[in-house]
Structure 1
Amino acid sequence: MAAGRLRRFGGLLTSDSGAPGSTPANATRVLCLECPKSLAARVIPLCRGLGLLSPRFRIGRMGGNVLIPLTRRPDVRERKAVEGLTALRLTYAVLEKKRRRPEDLIEALGDELPPHLLACVPRSFDIVGDIAVMKIPEELEPHRFDIGRALLEVLSPGVRVVLRKASPVAGVYRTMGVEWLAGERRTETVHKEFGCAYRLDLAKVYFSPRLATERMRVASQVGPGETVVNMFAGVGCFSIMMARHARPAKVYSIDVNPVAVEYAKENVALNRVEGVVVPILGDAREVVGTRLRDVADRVVMQLPEGAYGFLDAAVTALKPRGGTVHYYDFVDQDELSGRRLEVLGRLEELGWRGKVLLERRVSQVAPRRYEAVFDIEVTAP
């Protein structure tokens, strides 16, 4: 070896010299076993089995030889084992330390943010496919790209993109504002749950991974041969889940967002439920009034910010004898029973009887505020 020279191989720095100033910040002078590259595939496992291979440093190379970092000098028995494969040549080399993946976001940001800001770092985030979505508190916005890169480091390789939720879900199309923070520059992904796959663009359609269990719960109630009207279907998640895990005759999957309906069509093919799930573009009230009167055994109303105003359309879709309505709404912590009475009162005004079979909080959307579901058996008077 040429003394005192540093070389880079695969991002590694190696040297047989301990000269001052020759060691980078992320490297250390380490005892190594030097062996020909052609023998490395046999020598490295042997060193690992003997407990000689150091897990703290990357394996380097100098010229045509491999530098294997050791935990200690081999004893007599270990020397004989190594010499059975290659000549025992010990040397010192400057090798890069292996970077350990941080356990969580706080650890990843420990050297980048002061303690008073670390205390504000969000502990929760959503994962949609291979995209992580997080809210950034106002006081951390100047550091949002550092936080995004740190989260990507913690969650990789499963997560390849980090987005910031820049604005809440709003508008007729129920989209949220997103900002790219780290990773690949895209907002489209494929999300998988319970054997179903959904392609979607988080910047253009509504989707919540937090409803996965709820989607499966509703699907498990669908009986063989039922006709279902999903009034606010988005990219088809509830509809496809029902088609894959139950045996409905038809699931009419309505949404007013044209991008969501195009994704729904793609997802129907992706999940092989053609002929069962029927994506329909349009306003739910108009579609029901013109095409889907008196057809449904079951209606899904997953529009918590506005489902109450569509109860008339929901009962119009039901068969004359009635059926089941899955009604979603936002409620404060103590108003679940009050909202139940309000919904049942509205059904009575519309000329139907309602009996709540189940009511529960589905997810928390803000402090003391929840998305709730009411499973209602609706019958003709």
Structure 2
Amino acid sequence: MSDDDLFPDDGGEGELAVVVEKPRAQQAIDGLTQEGVYDADRSVRAYGEAGVSIPVTAVPETVEFHEVVRQVGDARLRTLADHLRERGWSPEEIDRAPSSWAVIGSVVLVEIDDAPRPVEVGEALLDLHGEADTVLQRHGIAGEHREPDVSVLAGEGDTETIHTEHGTRYAMDLAEVMFSPGNKDERAGMAEAVTENETVLDMFAGIGYFTLPMARAGADVTAVERNPTAFQYLLENARLNDVTDRVQPYRADCREVVEGVNADRVVMGYYDAYEYLDSALEALEPGGTVHLHEATPTDLVFERPIDRLETAANERGRSVEVLDTRRVKSYSEGVDHVVVDARVD
């Protein structure tokens, strides 16, 4: 949809939209959704050289924007299948198209598998998500630091972006660091779990996945990350979210940092975190809470991570009270990403 289908709001025909700079699109959409005025039945459209118009049901009160315009023309093509059908795809081809993808800031992440004409899939995803300017194809994770293997499928090819989630802003390069949309509720939950001035050790901080929402909620976080690229984004994101006074960052192996740390809470957001339980318990104060993440075979959920935690605690003369267990998402076929929350005395 072109700018020709957008007109200044003069009270005439067309549906309301607000204009923001494209880099702020996802942040604005999050804010409009929270306010309850984002209209998901219509498309985000290009506006000028650097802006987008975001459909709304009413003029927002809490989200900044440049101007109000009217959108006219066809209603939104709601699905990827709609866009592929317009490109002449057959029903059989559409059945092989991706069924899921993630929009992270201005980037769409997608796994193509055996879909035909991948470039057309990328172009269709850009049409579907007007706030995005790049589509990346995911190939997997590789290397000591679990770095993403991606390639540009469509768009500008800019892999750096800022993603906003529950008010927390994450700057990242999706060609260099991982970001899992499936962990969104877990990140939000950590902000709700902490109390103001609580001391937290985040043993595998990454770009600040859990550190940032906890610090924004008032916790004092010792954040440890050994991947140099992720660590630089951790520093940038602490500044971006105005929590540098609440985040103590260390570029190190977390086992080298725990001495002298007295934490009310330890976050172990790594699939093989159980290997570091001795260090976590060394840092955790009696009566403190540990959040142990693990990739667990489905038939061992939640038995294996609880057993590992209890064994490590017993070896140190400590006891465990399981507070909560949950499946976060599927990790691979027959394997789940799970979390055990426990009090350790």
TM-score by length of 1: 0.68
**Where does the alignment leave 5 or more consecutive residues of structure 1 unmatched?**
1-9, 12-39, 50-97
Mapped to 2, the partners of 1:342 and 1:242 lie a distance apart of 26
Decide which of 101, 111, 116 is 1:125's aligned counterpart.
101
Name the counterpart of 1:375.
341
Decide which of 122, 146, 150 is 1:148's aligned counterpart.
122
Name the counterpart of 2:264.
297
Name the counterpart of 1:162.
135
Decide which of 325, 331, 336 is 2:301's aligned counterpart.
336
Decide which of 236, 243, 248 is 1:273's aligned counterpart.
243
CA distances 1:306-331 after superposition (whole Å, capped 9, x unpaired): 10101111111113x25111000012
Decide which of 254, 269, 272 is 1:284's aligned counterpart.
254
Larger radius of gyration: 1
Relative CO higher for 1 or 2, CA cutoff 8 Å, sep ≥ 6?
2
Q: Cα RMSD (Å) of the superposition? A: 2.6
3-state SS of 2:210 partner: helix
Mapped to 2, the partners of 1:201 and 1:271 lie a distance apart of 17
Aligned-pair identity (%): 36
Name the counterpart of 1:107.
82
Report 1:214-253 matches (<5 A): 214-245=186-217, 247-248=218-219, 250-253=220-223
Name the counterpart of 1:205.
177
Mapped to 1, the partners of 2:223 and 2:96 lie a distance apart of 41
Report 1:41-52 matches (<5 A): none
Aligned pairs, how many? 282
C-alpha distance 117-223 of structure 1, shift in aligned 2 (>3 A)? same
Mapped to 2, the partners of 1:280 and 1:191 lie a distance apart of 23
TM-score by length of 2: 0.75
Name the counterpart of 1:314.
280
Mapped to 2, the partners of 1:374 and 1:125 lie a distance apart of 27
Name the counterpart of 2:32.
none
**Conservation of the 8 A alpha-carbon contact between 1:293 and 1:316:** no
Mapped to 2, the partners of 1:279 and 1:103 lie a distance apart of 43
One-letter amino acid of the counterpart of residue 349, structure 1 = E
**Conservation of the 8 A alpha-carbon contact between 1:161 and 1:186:** yes
Name the counterpart of 2:42.
none
Mapped to 2, the partners of 1:112 and 1:179 lie a distance apart of 25
Report 1:69-88 matches (<5 A): none
C-alpha distance 223-155 of structure 1, shift in aligned 2 (>3 A)? same
One-letter amino acid of the counterpart of residue 323, structure 1 = G
